[in-house]
Amino acid sequence: MELTLAGRKAVVTGAGSGIGREIALRFSAAGAAVAVCDVVKETADKVAAEVVAKGGQARAYAIDVSDFAAVQKLCEQVAVDIGGIDILVNNAGITRDNLLLRMTEEEFDRVVAVNLKGTFNFTKACFRRMMKNRWGRIINIASIIGQMGNAGQANYAAAKAGIIGLTKSAARELASRNVTVNAIAPGYVATAMTEKLDASARDAYIAGIPLKRVGTPEDVANACLFLASELASYVTGQVLRVDGGLLM
């Protein structure tokens, strides 16, 4: 069986940079038409243009994933624009790091709203089409922080742990319609988000990684491509850690 997404229609959130951008490019290279969704229209436009320049099909959309009504409306438009929705990658995420002692209500609420509620919003907006077609792939980008916790990231850890619970519940609900739902839990990956860490924190992370290197967006996109393909048709409700062995 070939690793291909030919003819599939994919929605990728947080696709304007980093991991999301790489997923969009990888899906397009495998034959999928891609809806590039990001909170910043300019970055979404840039990635969509990259896809088209490489011979692929893409449309760019600006969206705040935490806005339930806006997400519903956008997904209806995407289905018209690219001809359906077969694959959803919930990748959009933010951090607002702080120790619990200093963390504000806004810092907690905003991280949960984007990371967890955003995943719910897009899943809710897309899954009926997949059920009707009796084929679908939902891939949620979680984090090993949602499994191990991390000082200063109680909000992020809670949101990512929630994504894992949502993934497993949705997988049970949708399996009878041939819709798989899985999560990928990246470890330390070189993105704009992790670049905010100071050098000592980065060195400490790398020291604990058995493979002794930082992960790349390509590492995560490769796993995502597998889960989106027919090769993963018997995989659902799973959390695939892409972390170089950091959490075993």
Report the catalytic residues.
Answer: 156
Pick the closest to residue 189 from 146, 242, 142, 152 (CA basis): 242
Structure tokens at 106: 């806004």
Alpha helical stretches, state H, 9-65 = 18-29, 41-53
Taking the C-alpha atoms of residue 157 and residue 73, their distance in angstroms, rounded to an integer, is 29
Q: What is the DSSP letter of 191?
A: S
Taking the C-alpha atoms of residue 195 and residue 238, their distance in angstroms, rounded to an integer, is 28
Looking only at the bridges linking them, the beta strands covering 33-38 and 57-62 are parallel
3-class state of residue 97 by DSSP:
coil
Query: Which residues does residue 111 pair with via DSSP β-bridges, in sequence order?
Result: none
